[in-house]
Amino acid sequence: MSNSLLSKDKLSEAYKRELKEIRNIVGKSLEQRRYTIVAEVKFINEGRYGTSFVTVFDEDGTEIQMKVAEQLANELEREKTYIFSGHFEIGYSEKFGALQFKPQQIEVFGSSFRTMQQQIASRELIESQYLNKYKDDFSSFMGMQECHVALVTSAQSKAIHDVEEVFKRRQGIVYSLYEVKLNNPKSIATGIFEASESGCDVVMIVRGGGKDTDFLVFDSIEVLQEIYNSPIPVITGLGHTSNFTLADQVADRCETTPTKAAQFLVDKLGQYRNESKYVFHEERASYVISWNTKSNNSRKGRNILLTIVSLILFVAIIILFTRYF
């Protein structure tokens, strides 16, 4: 068996051999095709022989590796966006994939995709006056016996468990899950719309922590529009303390975590009013008042009757006395 294995081609050697064959066939053709790519730098790995390997991604999250001359690589910074002009070439190693991009020219484009998207969305927020939405103070929630929450998140989100544990601290809170894809702004926007039209008392949008790029969806205009247009209050609990989004700014209330969002609602609801208890006390009080009134009236009646009887007896005695004496 050992001899059989040794006689087989190694995967790495076979891969390299095929890459070399592809280079011979299409290498020159690829060099003649020029591309201009806008991408954000994710990682810079200094290589050998004056070449660095730079991992970049575009606004859709697609990652590729670039083979960058050391002189150009020295000008790059992580979490900044550049315009790369160059061509693709066939790689030399199975470790880095078949295709690599080799830029000949690099220009600064701007900050990270997240920052640029927030800047664009912020301008639209100001122009559309989304930040002027009336912020619900939730005072009307105080003492509600039942509160129905429309929970917008992924069905696999760990945040659901965190929210459930907090809701258990207060009777009368129930929730309906409006499942969304947390990496898809259109899905989130649709979920918020359906939740806001559901007849529930409040919409709560939650998700657990993650990378900064995971929260770009909550800066998208379609998500902000649905939060703004919601006819019922919206509470957000997205990620951790550092994950502040534009959705948080548009919502009626934002908390830094799903747990704190749920706790805010519990605190606002407070102890629920037991109306039946108040009705019972009122009826009992009414009965006591009525009974006391009847007792007083009967007492007065007896006193009047005794007075009349006494007068009649007194008059009778006087008549008998004057007749016989």
Average pLDDT rounded to a whole number, residues 227-250 = 89
Give the C-alpha separation, 276 to 178, whole Å.
33
Average pLDDT rounded to a whole number, residues 4-31 = 77
Give the C-alpha separation, 274 to 18, whole Å.
77
Residue 234: pLDDT above 50?
A: yes
| Residue 81 forms part of a structural domain | yes
| Residue 288 forms part of a structural domain | no
Output the domain CATH number for residue 99.
Answer: 2.40.50.140
Give the C-alpha separation, 162 to 237, whole Å.
11
| Residue 130 forms part of a structural domain | no
Residue-level pLDDT at 287: 43
| Residue 70 forms part of a structural domain | yes
Residue 149: pLDDT above 90?
A: yes
Residue-level pLDDT at 181: 95
Question: Please, which residues have CB within 8 angstroms of residue 264's CB and are 6 or more apart in sequence?
Answer: 235, 253, 255
Residue-level pLDDT at 309: 64
Pairing of strands 81-90, 99-110: antiparallel
Average pLDDT rounded to a whole number, residues 58-75 = 87
Confidence class of residue 282 from pLDDT cuts 50, 70 and 90? very low
Residue-level pLDDT at 92: 72
Confidence class of residue 320 from pLDDT cuts 50, 70 and 90? low
The mean-pLDDT minimum among 11-20, 111-120, 258-267 falls in 111-120
* CA angle (208, 211, 216) in 5-degree steps: 90
Question: How many other β-carbons are positioned within 10 Å of the β-carbon of residue 16?
Answer: 15
- Please state, in angstroms and as integers, the Cα–Cα distance from residue 64 to each residue in 57, 80, 103, 211, 222, following that order: 6, 16, 12, 19, 29
Average pLDDT rounded to a whole number, residues 280-294 = 44
Average pLDDT rounded to a whole number, residues 259-286 = 69
Average pLDDT rounded to a whole number, residues 165-177 = 95
| Residue 300 forms part of a structural domain | no
pLDDT tens column, 150-161: 999 999 999 999
Residue 228: pLDDT above 50?
A: yes
- 256: containing domain: 141-269
For residues 240 and 151, membership in a common domain is answered with: yes
For residues 152 and 224, membership in a common domain is answered with: yes
For residues 86 and 175, membership in a common domain is answered with: no
Confidence class of residue 112 from pLDDT cuts 50, 70 and 90? confident
Q: For residues 5 and 119, which has the higher predicted lDDT (pLDDT)?
A: 119
Confidence class of residue 62 from pLDDT cuts 50, 70 and 90? confident
Total domains in the fold of the chain: 2
Confidence class of residue 289 from pLDDT cuts 50, 70 and 90? very low
Residue 280: pLDDT above 60?
A: no
For residues 96 and 169, membership in a common domain is answered with: no
Is 97:112 a contact under the CB 8 Å cutoff?
no
Confidence class of residue 274 from pLDDT cuts 50, 70 and 90? low
For residues 98 and 216, membership in a common domain is answered with: no
Average pLDDT of the residues of the chain: 82
Which one, of 211, 157, 212, lies nearest residue 182 by Cα?
Answer: 157
Residue 292: pLDDT above 60?
A: no
Confidence class of residue 260 from pLDDT cuts 50, 70 and 90? very high
Pairing of strands 147-153, 173-179: parallel
3-state secondary structure the chain: CHHHHHHCCCHHHHHHHHHHHHHHHHHHHHHCCCEEEEEEEEEEEECCCCEEEEEEECCCCCEEEEEEEHHHHCCCCCCCEEEEEEEEEECCCHHHCCEEEEEEEEEEEECCHHHHHHHHHHHHHHHHCHHHCCCCCCHHHCCCCCEEEEEEECCCCCHHHHHHHHHCCCCCEEEEEEECCCCCHHHHHHHHHHHHCCCCCEEEEEECCCCHHHHHHHHCHHHHHHHHHCCCCEEEEECCCCCCCHHHHHCCEEECCHHHHHHHHHHHHCCCCCHHHHHHHHHHHHHHHHHHHHHHHHHHHHHHHHHHHHHHHHHHHHHHHHHHC
For residues 263 and 146, membership in a common domain is answered with: yes
For residues 261 and 150, membership in a common domain is answered with: yes
Q: For residues 325 and 156, which has the higher predicted lDDT (pLDDT)?
A: 156
Which one, of 131, 177, 141, 137, lies nearest residue 157 by Cα?
Answer: 177
Confidence class of residue 14 from pLDDT cuts 50, 70 and 90? confident
Which one, of 94, 47, 91, 52, lies nearest residue 75 by Cα?
Answer: 52
| Residue 295 forms part of a structural domain | no
Residue-level pLDDT at 281: 42
